Amino acid sequence: MPILGTFLKKAISVGSRLPVNKSKQSSIKMQEQTLRKLIESAQNTSFGEYYKFDKILKQKNIIDAFKSEIPIHDYNSIFRKWWYRSLNGEAYVCWPEKVKYFALSSGTSEASSKQIPVTESMIKSIRKTSIRQILSLAHYNLPDEFFEKGILMLGGSTHLQYNGTYYEGDLSGITAGNIPFWFQHFYKPGKRISKERDWTTKLEEITKNAHNWDIGVVVGVPAWIQILIEKIINHYNVENIHEIWPNLSIYTHGGVSFNPYKKGFEKLLGKPLTYIETYLASEGFIAYQSRPNTDSMEMVLNNGLFFEFIPFNEENFDENNNIIENPVSYNIDEVKENVEYALIISSCAGAWRYIIGDTLKFTSKEKHEIIITGRTKHFLNICGEHLSQENMDRAIELTSNQLNIDICEYTVTGIKHDSMFAHKWYVGTEADVSAQVIRAKIDENLKVLNDDYRVERIAAIKDVLVEIVSPNLFYQWMKSKGKEGGQNKFPRVLKIQQSNDWEEFIRNYK
């Protein structure tokens, strides 16, 4: 009898109804209180003294006062003026701590590898939201025995790089190295394998030990989870992963859209899984899917993160998708559903009015639920077509279903074509299908999904080109850039230099 599972399920059911998980306050009240706590905590830091946080705290409308005094920062501006000082070991720069950890971002835009501060306060915030997400499992119809199963988290190494004054690595490695003691019983692959820095070796070690674990949940970026499951299936010569892990019930994913991977992923299963999306960025645990039968995530409004939303349009961003000076930002109570916003955060890690580079839409203002639509730098807009990553993901998903093929990866770039322009797609599939067939479907689907694209295809976008490559090529390119595994993912839109590097890599490979 699953005594432990029954106990945990009851505890989760009770916990999900506690006030700590669901506040009766309005969304803006929660955000106002969160901002006040952040400013109170940081008023004696160098940043707080420079921007006179003590005076902001005395204002009647603290949100408006905060916005009027603090400029919006991108990574380069806040790092060059403030965060670099924390790298050098200085305390109380942007947050009242000495920063012990820096998370290395996937580097898909701007700097080749961003170093994002992760404070002890942020680790506690992430842990608190993680517990809330566990409590939300009470809303799912899961058997008692499920709550005794292992949780496989495929992330970066917990053996972090020490650089004299701080440690750096993937956020997944930082958080896995700080998991609470009560969770270690469930956590796989365990401390030894989690320390492994070589990604290939880590996958081999997990594969060799897979038959010893009773896994109920897998967590990780879709591409790498799929690669791992394929390795396990091949190693044990079985038909699907449920022959090894019969109790696998949930896949928790984040970082990129799961839709392009879903068709190929489900071929590896013996029975359906429940998919739960999370929004755990290097800057904090922003949102998670809190209930079944939805594709949206609930934003966390009262746990160390203050949010602002800037409409992602030509009024606020230039032709290179760089934010203009002093754009108007909206609070959580001012947003509209189905409008594209760039996300701005202030956090308990010392990010202040920081544009993290993600775009999102509200699917329910009442429930403050969102979907991620892409990256500010991952929109393709060379002549007014305004293609979002959401458009591109959906076009690939439709093409995959229409042709009944697996498209594991893709990327696209804008190029000059005679006197006008063209889009060039690189599609990762092993299917026996011509590039022209895929080209026709992608083009057709995008015309339906995006009116601007349809109009620009008449005159400005003279052609759509498709090159089919092995899916493995995407992962080999990432490896060549030192971005294998963990939270790393291939950029969906290639800028000029990236496109040149990618083309050269393909030529050498061939």
Condensed to tens digits (0 to 9), the pLDDT of residues 38-74 reads 999 999 999 999 999 999 999 999 999 999 999 999 9
433's tokens: 């299908």
pLDDT above 90: residue 5:
no
Residue that finishes a domain, picked among 377, 398, 415: 377
What are φ and ψ of residue 178, in 5° steps? -120, 25
Percentage of the residues of the chain whose pLDDT score is greater than 70: 93
- For residue 383, being part of any structural domain is answered with no
- For range 322-343, the mean pLDDT: 94
What are φ and ψ of residue 61, in 5° steps? -105, 95
- For residue 396, name the pLDDT band (cuts at 50, 70, 90): very high
* Predicted TM-score (pTM) above 0.85: no
What are φ and ψ of residue 320, in 5° steps? -100, 15
CA dihedral 364→369→371→375, nearest 10 degrees, is: 110
- For residue 254, name the pLDDT band (cuts at 50, 70, 90): confident
- For residue 123, being part of any structural domain is answered with yes
The least confident of 26-30, 257-261, 367-371, 424-428 is 257-261
- For residue 198, being part of any structural domain is answered with yes
Q: How far apart are CA 443 and CA 427, in angstroms?
A: 13
Q: What is the CATH number of the domain that holds 436?
A: 3.30.300
pLDDT at residue number 13: 52
User: Do residue 365 and residue 404 come from a single domain?
Assistant: no
Distances (CA, A) of 288 to 37, 113, 371, 509: 23, 26, 10, 39
From 251, 292, 286, select the one nearest 268 (Cα to Cα): 251
- For residue 236, being part of any structural domain is answered with yes
Q: What is the CATH number of the domain that holds 219?
A: 3.40.50.12780
Residue that finishes a domain, picked among 377, 404, 433: 377
pLDDT above 60: residue 10:
no
98's tokens: 């000495």
Q: How far apart are CA 388 and CA 385, in angstroms?
A: 9
362-368: long-range contacts (C-beta < 8 A, 24 or more apart)?
362/335, 362/336, 362/337, 362/338, 363/294, 363/295, 363/296, 363/337, 363/338, 364/296, 364/337, 365/335, 365/336, 365/337, 367/296, 367/298, 368/27, 368/298, 368/299, 368/301, 368/332
- For residue 384, being part of any structural domain is answered with no
Most confident residue range from 13-17, 113-117, 334-338: 334-338
Number of Cβ within a 10 Å radius of residue 272: 8
Structural domain of residue 262, as residue ranges? Answer: 1-377
Residue that finishes a domain, picked among 377, 406, 439: 377
User: Do residue 217 and residue 312 come from a single domain?
Assistant: yes
Q: How far apart are CA 470 and CA 429, in angstroms?
A: 6
User: Do residue 335 and residue 445 come from a single domain?
Assistant: no
Domain count, the chain: 2
- Burial group, residue 201, by CB count within 10 angstroms (0-12, 13-18, 19+): exposed
pLDDT above 80: residue 463:
yes
Number of Cβ within a 10 Å radius of residue 482: 11
Task: Dihedral sign for Cα 211, 213, 218, 221, please.
Answer: negative
User: Do residue 353 and residue 232 come from a single domain?
Assistant: yes
Q: How far apart are CA 302 and CA 30, in angstroms?
A: 5
Q: How far apart are CA 486 and CA 74, in angstroms?
A: 24
Give tens-digit pLDDT for 195-220.
998 888 999 999 999 999 999 999 98
Mean pLDDT score of the chain: 88
User: Do residue 364 and residue 395 come from a single domain?
Assistant: no
pLDDT above 90: residue 496:
no
User: Do residue 300 and residue 360 come from a single domain?
Assistant: yes
pLDDT at residue number 177: 83
